[in-house]
Structure formats: structure tokens, C-alpha cells
């Protein structure tokens, strides 16, 4: 199995700040986890929308780069469906919905520790001609 996601995470300072860990990964998918800290909250005392976006965006990057070809994000969207609180343990699952030679579409669902969906993310990537060399 590809070790590109692990290589990416080891070099990804912000994902490390978030405390992201890789639970599972493979061709076209990834499963990540992280726990929400006080410094990640906004003025409503819940996780800033950027926190769940960042987790999903990392899941997108790890899933879409898994084939050994560098993928860059073109367009992403997220709906925050439930408030995320300090201490919540998030689980993000990235799934490939469609893949052509040039374009990939991935959906990422984020759940909390009670298996409630807290965010739904969709990401579209462009597969560049560059291969990963690690």
C-alpha cells in the first residue's frame, strides 16, 4: 500500500498542529481522526468552521494523492451540519465518487464520537502530470 499519505502528513505542519492521525488509507480513500481543542473554537464557543474544513481538506489530499500522481484541489465545498464542541473526537472518511485521467471527485463525511454527522464535504481535484518521488 502507498505510503504517500504518511509522507505527506509528516511534512504537513498544519495537519500536525490540528493533531490529525491517519486511521486508514489506500487507493482513493483515507480515514483521519483528530480531537478538538479550545484554541480551535470561534466566537460561538464551538469549533471554527475552518477546523472541520481543514480536516476534510487533508483527507481529500491524502485520498487523491494515493495513486502516486500529484493532485491539486480545484474546488471544494462544505456544509457544517452540527456544532462541534471542545473535546469532540472527529472521524473523517474520504471516498472517491468519480475518477477520470484528469479529474477526481471525492466526498468526505465527518462524524463526531456519537456517530453524528457534523460536516459534509465535496472536493474536486486535478491530477497533474507530476509523479510523487518519495
Q: Please give the residues from 36 up to 75 whose contact with a copy of itself meets the rule CB under 8 A.
A: 38-43, 45, 47-51, 53-55, 57-58, 61, 73-75
The answer to the question of residue 95 lying near a copy of itself (CB under 8 A) is no
Q: How far is the CB of 133 from a copy of itself (least distance, A)?
A: 13
Q: How far is the CB of 95 from a copy of itself (least distance, A)?
A: 12
Q: Residue 56, Cβ neighbours under 10 Å: how many?
A: 27
| Nearest residue to 64 (alpha-carbon basis) of 133, 4, 130 | 4
The answer to the question of residue 8 lying near a copy of itself (CB under 8 A) is yes
d(CA 119, CA 81): 5
* DSSP state letter for 38: G
Kindly calculate the radius of gyration of the chain based on its CA atoms and give it in whole angstroms.
14
By beta-carbon proximity to a copy of itself, the closer residue of 9 and 90 is 9
The answer to the question of residue 9 lying near a copy of itself (CB under 8 A) is yes
The answer to the question of residue 78 lying near a copy of itself (CB under 8 A) is yes
For residue 65, report the phi and psi dihedrals to the nearest 5 degrees: -90, 0
Q: Looking at beta carbons, which pairs linking 20-23 to residues 24 or more positions away fall under 8 Å?
A: 20/55, 20/58, 22/62, 23/91
What does the binding site for a copy of itself look like in residue numbers (CB under 8 A)?
7-15, 17, 38-43, 45, 47-51, 53-55, 57-58, 61, 73-81, 97-98, 100, 102-103, 105, 107, 117, 120, 122, 124, 126
Amino acid at each position: 500500500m502507498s505510503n504517500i499519505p504518511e509522507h505527506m502528513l509528516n511534512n504537513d505542519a498544519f495537519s500536525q498542529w490540528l493533531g490529525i492521525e491517519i486511521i486508514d488509507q489506500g487507493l482513493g480513500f483515507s480515514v483521519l481522526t483528530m480531537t478538538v481543542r479550545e484554541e480551535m473554537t470561534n466566537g460561538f464557543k464551538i469549533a471554527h468552521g475552518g477546523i472541520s474544513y481543514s480536516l476534510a481538506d487533508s483527507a481529500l489530499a491524502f485520498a487523491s494523492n494515493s495513486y502516486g500522481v500529484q493532485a491539486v484541489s480545484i474546488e471544494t465545498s462544505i456544509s457544517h451540519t452540527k456544532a462541534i464542541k471542545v473535546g469532540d473526537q472527529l472521524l473523517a472518511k474520504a471516498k472517491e465518487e468519480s475518477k477520470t485521467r484528469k479529474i477526481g471527485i471525492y466526498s468526505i463525511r465527518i462524524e463526531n464520537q456519537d456517530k453524528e454527522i457534523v460536516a459534509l464535504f465535496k472536493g474536486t481535484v486535478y491530477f497533474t502530470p507530476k509523479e510523487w518521488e518519495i
